[in-house]
Structure 1
Amino acid sequence: MAMSKRTKRSMIVLLSVVVLFVLLVSVLFTASGVFKKAKYLDPWKRDYAGQFEDPRLQLAAYGLLAANGHNMQPWKIRLDKQNPLKLSLYTDHTRLALETDPLARQTLVSQGTFLEYLKVAGEQLGYQTEIKLFPDGEYDEQNLSESMDQKAVADITLTKTAPQVNPLFDYLFLPDTNRMAYKPDPLTPEQTAQLKQINDDKDLTLTLLEDSASIQKLGAYGVEGTNIETGLARMNDESARIFRSNEYQKNKYRYGFSFEGQGTTGVKKHLLQGMITLFPSFNNEKASTKLAVQAAREAADHSPAYALIVSKDNSRTSQVKAGMLYSRLILAGHEEGLVMQPLSQVLEEYPEMKEPYTRIHKEYAPGGGTIQLLVRVGQPTQDTPLSMRREVTDLIAD
Structure 2
Amino acid sequence: MINKAVNKKMLMILIIILSVAAICMAILFITSGVFAPSRYLEPWNKSYSKQFGDPRVKLVSHGILAANGHNMQPWKVVLDPKDHMVFRLYADAERLTPEVDPFARQTMVSQGTFLEYIRIAGAELGYKTTIALFPEGEYDERDLKASMSAKPVAKVTLAKAPPEKNPLYPYMYLPDTNRGPYEANLLSPGQADALQRARQEAGVALHIFQDSSNVERLGQYAVTGTAIEAGVHRINEESRRIFRANEYEKNRYRYGFSLEGQGTTGFMKHMMQGLITIFPFLNNEQASADMMIRSTQAAAGHTPAYAMILTEGNSRTQQVLAGMLYSRLILSAHSLGLVMQPVSQVLEEYPEMEQQYNSIHRDYAAHGVTIQMLVRVGAPTKSAAPTMRRDALDFLTQ
Shorter-chain TM range is: over 0.9
Find the aligned partners of 2:234 and 2:280 in 1 and give their Cα distance.
18
Residue in 2 aligned with 1:10?
Answer: 10
SS class of match (1:94): coil
Q: Does 1:358 align with 2:358?
A: yes
* Counterpart Cα distance in 2 of 1:58 and 1:339: 26
Query: Which residue is 1:293 aligned to?
Result: 293
**Structure 2 SS opposite 1:90:** strand
Letter in structure 2 aligned against 1:379: A
Give the Cα–Cα distance (whole angstroms) in 1 for the partners of residues 259 and 198 of structure 2. 33
Match in the other structure for 2:220 = 220
User: SS where residue 397 of structure 1 aligns?
Assistant: coil
Corresponding residue of 2:319: 319
Q: Secondary structure at the match of 1:185?
A: coil
Q: Which residue of 2 aligns with 1:336?
A: 336
- Single out whichever of 225-234 and 363-372 deviates more from structure 2: 363-372
**In structure 2, what is the equivalent of residue 32 of structure 1?**
32
Aligned residue number for residue 255 of structure 2:
255
Paired with 1:209 and 1:175, the residues of 2 have a C-alpha distance of: 23
Cα deviation per residue 1:257-307 (whole Å; 9 max; x = unaligned)?
A: 000011111110000000000000011111111100001101111110111
Amino acid at match of 1:15: I
1:302 match = 302
Task: Report the CA distance between 1:198 and its aligned residue.
Answer: 1.7
Q: Secondary structure at the match of 1:320?
A: helix
Residue 275 of structure 2 corresponds to residue 275 of structure 1: yes
SS at match of 1:308: strand
Structure 2 SS opposite 1:137? coil
Q: Where does structure 2 lack aligned partners over 5 or more consecutive residues?
A: none
Letter in 2 for 1:5: A
Q: Secondary structure at the match of 2:119?
A: helix
SS class of match (2:16) = helix
Q: What are the Cα deviations for residues 206-255 of structure 1, in whole angstroms up to 9, with x where unaligned?
A: 01111100000000000000010000110111111000000000000000
Deviation of the 1:367 alpha carbon: 3.2
> C-alpha distance in 1, partners of 2:126/2:260?
34
Matches within 5 A, 1:169-184: 169-184=169-184
Aligned position for 2:53: 53
Instruction: Report the counterpart of residue 64 of structure 2 in structure 1.
Output: 64
2 CA distance for matches of 1:4 and 1:212?
A: 67
**1:66 partner SS:** coil
Q: Which residue of 2 aligns with 1:384?
A: 384
Task: Quote the Cα distance in structure 2 between the aligned partners of 1:44 and 1:20.
Answer: 38
In 2, Cα distance between equivalents of 1:3 and 1:48: 65
SS in structure 2 of the partner of residue 328 of structure 1: helix
Tell me the residue number matched to 1:135. 135
Distance 2:189 2:239 in 1: 39
CA distance in 1, matches of 2:136, 2:366: 32
**TM alignment of 1:225-244, pairs within 5 A:** 225-244=225-244
Give the drift of 1:344. 1.8
- Any idea what SS the aligned residue of 2:218 has? helix
Distance 1:65 1:197 in 2: 22
Alpha-carbon distance in 1 for matches of 2:271, 2:62: 32
Q: Residues of 2 paired with 1:176 and 1:294: CA distance?
A: 21
Distance 2:344 2:96 in 1: 15
TM-score between both structures, scaled by the size of structure 2: 0.99
Q: Give runs of aligned pairs for residues 100-249 of structure 1, distance below 5 A.
A: 100-249=100-249
Task: Provide the residue aligned with 2:374 in structure 1.
Answer: 374
Structure 1: how far apart are the matches of 2:16 and 2:238?
43
Q: CA deviation at 1:368?
A: 2.1
Q: Distance in 1 between matches of 2:372 and 2:4?
A: 74
CA apart distance, 1:2? 9.8
Aligned-residue identity in percent: 52
Aligned-CA RMSD value: 0.9
State the alpha-carbon separation in 2 of the partners of residues 238 and 216 from structure 1.
Answer: 30
Question: Unaligned stretches of 5+ in structure 1?
Answer: none
SS across alignment from 2:94: helix
Q: How far apart, in 2, do the equivalents of 1:202 and 1:363 lie? A: 23
Q: Report the Cα distance in structure 1 between the residues aligned to 2:329 and 2:13, rounded to whole angstroms.
A: 59
Aligned-residue offset at 1:5? 1.3
Alignment length, in residue pairs?
A: 398
Distance 2:384 2:83 in 1: 40
Cα distance in 1, alignment partners of residues 396 and 198 from structure 2: 31
What is the rounded CA distance, in whole Å, between the counterparts of 1:174 and 1:238 in structure 2? 27
Q: Which moved more, 1:358-367 or 1:20-29?
A: 358-367
Letter in 1 for 2:276: I
Q: In the aligned structure 1, how far is the partner of 2:102 from the partner of 2:379? A: 33
**Distance of 1:208 and 1:225 partners within structure 2:** 20
For residue 375 of structure 1, report the CA deviation from its aligned partner. 0.8
**Shift of the alpha carbon at 1:202?**
2.0
Offset at residue 182 of structure 1 (A): 0.5
Report the Cα distance in structure 1 between the residues aligned to 2:3 and 2:296, rounded to whole angstroms. Answer: 56
Q: Which amino acid aligns with 1:262?
A: Q
CA-to-aligned-CA distance 1:93-133 (integer Å, 9 cap, x gap) = 00000100000000000000000001000010000000000
- Aligned counterpart, 1:92: 92
Counterparts of 1:284 and 1:183, CA distance in 2: 32
Alignment-mate amino acid for residue 132 of structure 1: A
